[in-house]
Structure 1
Amino acid sequence: MQQTKTALFRFVRRYVGDEQDAWDLLQETYAAAWINIRRYDPARPFEAWIRTIALNKCRDWSRRRFVRRLIRGDVDLASPEALAVANGDEPADERMEAGDRLARLNEAISLLPPHLKAPLLLTAIEGRSQAEAAEILGVTVKTVETRVARARRKLFDVLGGPGDVPPAPK
Protein backbone atom coordinates (compact mmCIF):
# COMPACT_ATOMS: atom_id res chain seq x y z
CA MET A 1 0.00 0.00 0.00
CA GLN A 2 2.74 2.42 0.90
CA GLN A 3 4.33 2.03 -2.52
CA THR A 4 1.17 2.45 -4.57
CA LYS A 5 -1.20 4.60 -2.50
CA THR A 6 -0.18 8.08 -3.69
CA ALA A 7 -0.19 7.37 -7.42
CA LEU A 8 -3.33 5.26 -7.17
CA PHE A 9 -5.14 8.00 -5.23
CA ARG A 10 -4.21 10.59 -7.89
CA PHE A 11 -5.56 8.29 -10.60
CA VAL A 12 -8.84 7.63 -8.77
CA ARG A 13 -9.22 11.30 -7.80
CA ARG A 14 -8.89 12.40 -11.40
CA TYR A 15 -11.29 9.71 -12.54
CA VAL A 16 -14.11 10.53 -10.11
CA GLY A 17 -13.51 14.26 -9.67
CA ASP A 18 -14.16 14.25 -5.91
CA GLU A 19 -11.56 13.83 -3.19
CA GLN A 20 -13.81 12.13 -0.62
CA ASP A 21 -15.20 9.66 -3.15
CA ALA A 22 -11.63 8.97 -4.25
CA TRP A 23 -10.55 8.08 -0.71
CA ASP A 24 -13.57 5.76 -0.38
CA LEU A 25 -12.78 4.07 -3.69
CA LEU A 26 -9.13 3.71 -2.75
CA GLN A 27 -10.18 1.88 0.41
CA GLU A 28 -12.51 -0.34 -1.61
CA THR A 29 -9.67 -1.06 -4.02
CA TYR A 30 -7.27 -2.22 -1.34
CA ALA A 31 -9.98 -4.23 0.39
CA ALA A 32 -10.84 -5.99 -2.87
CA ALA A 33 -7.14 -6.61 -3.55
CA TRP A 34 -6.68 -8.15 -0.11
CA ILE A 35 -9.72 -10.38 -0.52
CA ASN A 36 -8.57 -11.50 -3.97
CA ILE A 37 -4.82 -11.66 -3.39
CA ARG A 38 -4.82 -15.36 -4.29
CA ARG A 39 -5.81 -14.33 -7.84
CA TYR A 40 -2.75 -12.15 -8.25
CA ASP A 41 -0.35 -13.51 -10.87
CA PRO A 42 3.23 -12.69 -9.78
CA ALA A 43 4.27 -12.85 -13.44
CA ARG A 44 2.38 -9.57 -13.97
CA PRO A 45 3.37 -6.27 -12.39
CA PHE A 46 1.56 -5.71 -9.09
CA GLU A 47 0.90 -2.06 -9.94
CA ALA A 48 -0.96 -3.01 -13.12
CA TRP A 49 -3.06 -5.52 -11.15
CA ILE A 50 -4.01 -3.05 -8.40
CA ARG A 51 -4.69 -0.28 -10.93
CA THR A 52 -7.04 -2.60 -12.82
CA ILE A 53 -8.95 -3.20 -9.60
CA ALA A 54 -9.09 0.56 -8.96
CA LEU A 55 -10.29 1.20 -12.51
CA ASN A 56 -13.08 -1.35 -12.06
CA LYS A 57 -14.09 0.31 -8.77
CA CYS A 58 -14.17 3.69 -10.56
CA ARG A 59 -16.31 2.28 -13.36
CA ASP A 60 -18.74 0.76 -10.84
CA TRP A 61 -18.90 4.11 -9.03
CA SER A 62 -19.63 5.93 -12.31
CA ARG A 63 -22.44 3.53 -13.19
CA ARG A 64 -24.01 3.84 -9.72
CA ARG A 65 -23.71 7.63 -9.85
CA PHE A 66 -25.28 7.79 -13.30
CA VAL A 67 -28.21 5.59 -12.24
CA ARG A 68 -28.81 7.75 -9.14
CA ARG A 69 -28.78 10.91 -11.28
CA LEU A 70 -31.12 9.29 -13.80
CA ILE A 71 -33.57 8.28 -11.08
CA ARG A 72 -33.49 11.77 -9.54
CA GLY A 73 -34.09 13.28 -12.99
CA ASP A 74 -30.79 15.18 -13.06
CA VAL A 75 -29.98 13.72 -16.49
CA ASP A 76 -32.18 12.44 -19.30
CA LEU A 77 -31.61 9.49 -21.59
CA ALA A 78 -30.96 11.70 -24.62
CA SER A 79 -28.01 13.50 -23.02
CA PRO A 80 -24.44 12.91 -24.25
CA GLU A 81 -23.63 11.46 -20.83
CA ALA A 82 -26.34 8.86 -21.23
CA LEU A 83 -25.08 8.01 -24.72
CA ALA A 84 -21.99 7.50 -24.36
CA VAL A 85 -0.18 23.15 -9.46
CA ALA A 86 1.31 26.13 -8.85
CA ASN A 87 4.97 26.38 -7.61
CA GLY A 88 4.44 29.60 -5.63
CA ASP A 89 6.83 31.77 -7.67
CA GLU A 90 4.18 33.50 -9.74
CA PRO A 91 1.87 36.29 -8.54
CA ALA A 92 -1.31 35.36 -6.68
CA ASP A 93 -3.59 36.25 -9.60
CA GLU A 94 -1.64 33.93 -11.92
CA ARG A 95 -1.76 31.14 -9.33
CA MET A 96 -5.50 31.65 -9.01
CA GLU A 97 -5.93 31.53 -12.79
CA ALA A 98 -3.82 28.37 -12.97
CA GLY A 99 -5.89 26.86 -10.17
CA ASP A 100 -9.09 27.72 -12.03
CA ARG A 101 -7.72 26.12 -15.22
CA LEU A 102 -6.76 23.00 -13.28
CA ALA A 103 -10.20 22.83 -11.65
CA ARG A 104 -11.85 23.18 -15.09
CA LEU A 105 -9.59 20.48 -16.50
CA ASN A 106 -10.31 18.10 -13.61
CA GLU A 107 -14.04 18.72 -13.98
CA ALA A 108 -13.90 18.19 -17.75
CA ILE A 109 -11.90 14.97 -17.31
CA SER A 110 -14.34 13.67 -14.71
CA LEU A 111 -17.21 14.21 -17.18
CA LEU A 112 -15.58 12.21 -19.99
CA PRO A 113 -17.18 8.84 -20.74
CA PRO A 114 -15.34 6.07 -18.85
CA HIS A 115 -14.02 4.41 -22.03
CA LEU A 116 -12.23 7.68 -22.92
CA LYS A 117 -11.33 8.81 -19.41
CA ALA A 118 -9.33 5.76 -18.34
CA PRO A 119 -6.86 5.67 -21.26
CA LEU A 120 -6.35 9.45 -21.04
CA LEU A 121 -5.59 9.31 -17.32
CA LEU A 122 -3.25 6.36 -17.69
CA THR A 123 -1.24 7.81 -20.56
CA ALA A 124 -1.39 11.60 -20.55
CA ILE A 125 -1.74 12.16 -16.80
CA GLU A 126 -0.03 9.15 -15.21
CA GLY A 127 2.68 8.95 -17.88
CA ARG A 128 2.20 5.28 -18.70
CA SER A 129 2.98 3.95 -22.15
CA GLN A 130 0.12 3.00 -24.42
CA ALA A 131 1.19 -0.64 -24.07
CA GLU A 132 0.93 -0.45 -20.27
CA ALA A 133 -2.46 1.23 -20.51
CA ALA A 134 -3.63 -1.42 -22.98
CA GLU A 135 -2.60 -4.16 -20.56
CA ILE A 136 -4.40 -2.52 -17.63
CA LEU A 137 -7.54 -1.88 -19.67
CA GLY A 138 -7.53 -5.21 -21.48
CA VAL A 139 -7.63 -3.61 -24.94
CA THR A 140 -5.23 -3.21 -27.84
CA VAL A 141 -2.60 -0.48 -28.06
CA LYS A 142 -4.40 0.94 -31.11
CA THR A 143 -7.62 1.18 -29.09
CA VAL A 144 -5.79 3.13 -26.39
CA GLU A 145 -4.30 5.44 -29.02
CA THR A 146 -7.71 6.11 -30.59
CA ARG A 147 -9.46 6.67 -27.27
CA VAL A 148 -6.79 9.07 -26.02
CA ALA A 149 -7.09 11.08 -29.23
CA ARG A 150 -10.88 11.22 -28.89
CA ALA A 151 -10.64 12.22 -25.22
CA ARG A 152 -8.19 15.00 -26.04
CA ARG A 153 -10.49 16.22 -28.82
CA LYS A 154 -13.45 16.32 -26.42
CA LEU A 155 -11.40 18.19 -23.81
CA PHE A 156 -10.24 20.64 -26.45
CA ASP A 157 -13.87 21.25 -27.48
CA VAL A 158 -15.01 21.74 -23.88
CA LEU A 159 -12.07 23.81 -22.66
CA GLY A 160 -11.44 25.69 -25.86
CA GLY A 161 -7.67 25.58 -26.12
CA PRO A 162 -4.57 23.39 -26.18
CA GLY A 163 -3.12 25.04 -23.05
CA ASP A 164 -5.83 23.44 -20.92
CA VAL A 165 -5.60 19.94 -22.41
CA PRO A 166 -3.01 17.41 -21.13
CA PRO A 167 -0.11 16.91 -23.53
CA ALA A 168 -0.21 13.97 -25.91
CA PRO A 169 1.78 10.94 -24.71
CA LYS A 170 5.13 10.40 -26.33
Structure 2
Amino acid sequence: MGVEASIEVRAAGGDRTAFTALMTATKADLYRFIRRYVGDEAEAHDVLQEAYASAWLAMRRYDSTRPFDVWMRSIALNKCRDWSRRRSVRRVVRGVMGLDAPEATAVGEDAPMPEARLDDQRRAQDLQHALSELPDALKAPLLLATLEGRSHAEVASILGITPKAVETRIARARKKLVDALA
Protein backbone atom coordinates (compact mmCIF):
# COMPACT_ATOMS: atom_id res chain seq x y z
CA MET A 1 0.00 0.00 0.00
CA GLY A 2 1.65 3.25 -1.18
CA VAL A 3 1.44 6.67 0.32
CA GLU A 4 -0.77 9.06 -1.65
CA ALA A 5 1.14 11.99 -3.18
CA SER A 6 0.39 15.44 -1.80
CA ILE A 7 -1.80 17.74 -3.83
CA GLU A 8 1.24 19.92 -4.60
CA VAL A 9 3.22 16.93 -5.91
CA ARG A 10 0.27 15.81 -8.01
CA ALA A 11 -0.09 19.34 -9.44
CA ALA A 12 3.65 19.46 -10.17
CA GLY A 13 3.19 16.21 -12.07
CA GLY A 14 0.64 17.87 -14.36
CA ASP A 15 -2.59 16.97 -12.55
CA ARG A 16 -4.97 19.80 -13.52
CA THR A 17 -7.52 18.84 -10.88
CA ALA A 18 -4.88 19.13 -8.14
CA PHE A 19 -3.72 22.49 -9.51
CA THR A 20 -7.32 23.72 -9.64
CA ALA A 21 -7.76 22.71 -5.99
CA LEU A 22 -4.60 24.63 -5.04
CA MET A 23 -5.80 27.60 -7.04
CA THR A 24 -9.18 27.52 -5.31
CA ALA A 25 -7.51 27.35 -1.89
CA THR A 26 -5.22 30.34 -2.52
CA LYS A 27 -7.23 32.55 -4.88
CA ALA A 28 -9.05 34.78 -2.37
CA ASP A 29 -5.95 35.74 -0.35
CA LEU A 30 -3.84 36.17 -3.46
CA TYR A 31 -6.47 38.37 -5.08
CA ARG A 32 -6.63 40.63 -1.99
CA PHE A 33 -2.85 41.02 -2.07
CA ILE A 34 -2.80 41.83 -5.79
CA ARG A 35 -5.77 44.19 -5.44
CA ARG A 36 -3.98 46.16 -2.76
CA TYR A 37 -0.82 46.25 -4.82
CA VAL A 38 -2.29 47.41 -8.13
CA GLY A 39 -5.16 49.45 -6.71
CA ASP A 40 -7.70 48.52 -9.38
CA GLU A 41 -10.20 45.67 -9.27
CA ALA A 42 -10.20 44.82 -12.99
CA GLU A 43 -6.42 45.04 -13.24
CA ALA A 44 -6.10 42.84 -10.15
CA HIS A 45 -8.17 40.13 -11.82
CA ASP A 46 -5.94 40.29 -14.89
CA VAL A 47 -2.77 40.08 -12.81
CA LEU A 48 -4.24 37.18 -10.81
CA GLN A 49 -4.94 35.27 -14.02
CA GLU A 50 -1.42 35.97 -15.26
CA ALA A 51 0.01 34.71 -11.96
CA TYR A 52 -1.89 31.42 -12.12
CA ALA A 53 -1.07 30.95 -15.80
CA SER A 54 2.62 31.44 -15.02
CA ALA A 55 2.37 29.11 -12.04
CA TRP A 56 0.80 26.40 -14.20
CA LEU A 57 3.57 26.77 -16.77
CA ALA A 58 6.23 26.61 -14.03
CA MET A 59 4.52 23.98 -11.90
CA ARG A 60 6.94 21.21 -12.88
CA ARG A 61 9.73 23.28 -11.28
CA TYR A 62 7.78 23.79 -8.02
CA ASP A 63 9.78 22.80 -4.92
CA SER A 64 7.33 20.85 -2.76
CA THR A 65 9.40 21.60 0.36
CA ARG A 66 8.28 25.21 0.05
CA PRO A 67 4.69 26.15 0.97
CA PHE A 68 2.58 26.55 -2.17
CA ASP A 69 1.02 29.83 -1.03
CA VAL A 70 4.48 31.36 -0.50
CA TRP A 71 5.55 30.21 -3.97
CA MET A 72 2.36 31.67 -5.48
CA ARG A 73 2.86 34.92 -3.58
CA SER A 74 6.33 35.24 -5.15
CA ILE A 75 4.90 34.71 -8.62
CA ALA A 76 2.08 37.18 -7.97
CA LEU A 77 4.52 39.76 -6.65
CA ASN A 78 6.60 39.43 -9.84
CA LYS A 79 3.45 39.86 -11.92
CA CYS A 80 2.53 42.97 -9.90
CA ARG A 81 5.99 44.38 -10.54
CA ASP A 82 5.63 43.62 -14.25
CA TRP A 83 2.26 45.39 -14.23
CA SER A 84 3.82 48.43 -12.54
CA ARG A 85 6.57 48.61 -15.13
CA ARG A 86 4.15 48.26 -18.06
CA ARG A 87 1.74 50.81 -16.75
CA SER A 88 2.67 54.34 -17.71
CA VAL A 89 -0.38 56.10 -16.27
CA ARG A 90 -1.95 54.83 -13.06
CA ARG A 91 -5.71 54.79 -12.78
CA VAL A 92 -7.30 56.92 -10.10
CA VAL A 93 -9.29 54.99 -7.54
CA ARG A 94 -12.91 55.31 -8.64
CA GLY A 95 -14.36 55.10 -5.20
CA VAL A 96 -14.08 53.07 -2.09
CA MET A 97 -17.70 52.31 -1.38
CA GLY A 98 -19.89 50.67 -3.99
CA LEU A 99 -23.65 50.88 -4.11
CA ASP A 100 -23.93 47.37 -2.67
CA ALA A 101 -21.99 48.30 0.50
CA PRO A 102 -24.15 48.37 3.65
CA GLU A 103 -23.17 51.99 4.35
CA ALA A 104 -24.55 53.07 0.97
CA THR A 105 -28.05 51.91 1.83
CA ALA A 106 -28.05 52.91 5.52
CA VAL A 107 -30.74 55.36 6.51
CA GLY A 108 -31.75 57.21 9.63
CA GLU A 109 -29.43 57.81 12.56
CA ASP A 110 -27.06 54.97 11.63
CA ALA A 111 -26.32 56.42 8.21
CA PRO A 112 -23.04 58.30 7.99
CA MET A 113 -23.36 61.92 6.99
CA PRO A 114 -22.57 62.59 3.31
CA GLU A 115 -19.64 64.81 4.31
CA ALA A 116 -18.16 62.04 6.47
CA ARG A 117 -18.50 59.53 3.62
CA LEU A 118 -16.77 61.96 1.26
CA ASP A 119 -13.97 62.53 3.75
CA ASP A 120 -13.55 58.77 4.19
CA GLN A 121 -13.46 58.29 0.43
CA ARG A 122 -10.91 61.07 -0.01
CA ARG A 123 -8.70 59.63 2.72
CA ALA A 124 -8.93 56.17 1.20
CA GLN A 125 -8.10 57.57 -2.24
CA ASP A 126 -5.17 59.51 -0.82
CA LEU A 127 -3.90 56.39 0.93
CA GLN A 128 -4.32 54.27 -2.21
CA HIS A 129 -2.49 56.91 -4.24
CA ALA A 130 0.32 57.12 -1.67
CA LEU A 131 0.60 53.31 -1.67
CA SER A 132 0.76 53.23 -5.46
CA GLU A 133 3.59 55.78 -5.41
CA LEU A 134 5.76 53.71 -3.06
CA PRO A 135 8.70 52.01 -4.74
CA ASP A 136 8.23 48.25 -5.18
CA ALA A 137 11.01 47.51 -2.68
CA LEU A 138 8.97 49.26 0.04
CA LYS A 139 5.43 48.50 -1.10
CA ALA A 140 5.74 44.70 -1.21
CA PRO A 141 7.03 44.19 2.36
CA LEU A 142 4.48 46.67 3.73
CA LEU A 143 1.54 44.96 2.05
CA LEU A 144 2.69 41.45 2.90
CA ALA A 145 3.39 42.17 6.57
CA THR A 146 0.92 44.87 7.52
CA LEU A 147 -2.13 44.12 5.42
CA GLU A 148 -1.63 40.38 4.96
CA GLY A 149 -0.47 39.75 8.52
CA ARG A 150 2.58 37.72 7.48
CA SER A 151 5.61 37.48 9.75
CA HIS A 152 8.84 39.17 8.80
CA ALA A 153 10.37 35.72 8.25
CA GLU A 154 7.58 34.81 5.79
CA VAL A 155 7.94 38.11 3.96
CA ALA A 156 11.71 37.64 3.83
CA SER A 157 11.21 34.19 2.31
CA ILE A 158 8.80 35.49 -0.33
CA LEU A 159 11.01 38.45 -1.26
CA GLY A 160 14.37 36.72 -0.92
CA ILE A 161 15.71 39.22 1.62
CA THR A 162 16.55 39.08 5.33
CA PRO A 163 13.96 39.64 8.06
CA LYS A 164 15.95 42.71 9.17
CA ALA A 165 15.68 44.13 5.62
CA VAL A 166 11.92 43.54 5.80
CA GLU A 167 11.73 45.46 9.07
CA THR A 168 13.77 48.35 7.65
CA ARG A 169 11.74 48.54 4.45
CA ILE A 170 8.45 48.53 6.34
CA ALA A 171 9.66 51.39 8.55
CA ARG A 172 10.73 53.37 5.47
CA ALA A 173 7.41 52.67 3.73
CA ARG A 174 5.44 53.86 6.74
CA LYS A 175 7.49 57.05 6.94
CA LYS A 176 6.93 57.74 3.24
CA LEU A 177 3.18 57.18 3.68
CA VAL A 178 3.03 59.49 6.69
CA ASP A 179 4.97 62.16 4.78
CA ALA A 180 2.75 61.76 1.70
CA LEU A 181 -0.45 61.99 3.72
CA ALA A 182 0.68 64.90 5.90
2:119 alignment counterpart: 97
Larger RCO (alpha carbons 8 Å, 6+ apart):
1
Match of 1:16 among 12, 16, 38: 38
Match of 1:137 among 132, 152, 159: 159
> 1:47 and 2:60 equivalent?
no
> 1:149 and 2:149 equivalent?
no
Percent of pairs with identical residues: 59
Match of 1:63 among 77, 85, 89: 85
Match of 2:138 among 109, 116, 129: 116
Amino acid at match of 1:63: R
Count of aligned residue pairs for this structure pair:
143
Q: Could you state the TM-score of these two structures normalised by the residue count of structure 1?
A: 0.77
SS in 2 for 1:9: helix
Cα root mean square deviation, aligned = 1.8
SS in 1 for 2:123: helix
* Gapped regions of structure 2 (runs ≥ 5): 1-22, 90-96, 104-109
1:128 alignment counterpart: 150
SS in 2 for 1:2: helix
Distance in 1 separating the partners of 2:178 and 2:143: 15
Q: Measured at CA, do residues 140 and 22 of structure 1 come closer, stay the same or move farther in structure 2, by a change above 3 Å?
A: same
> Where does structure 1 differ by over 6 angstroms across 4 or more consecutive aligned residues?
none
Structure whose CA Rg is larger: 2
Q: Could you state the TM-score of these two structures normalised by the residue count of structure 2?
A: 0.73
1:5-44 alpha-carbon deviations (Å, 9 max, x no partner)? 1111111111112222111110000000111111111111
* Gapped regions of structure 1 (runs ≥ 5): 70-84, 161-170
Distance in 2 separating the partners of 1:29 and 1:96: 35
Distance in 2 separating the partners of 1:113 and 1:151: 9
Displacement of 1:90: 5.4
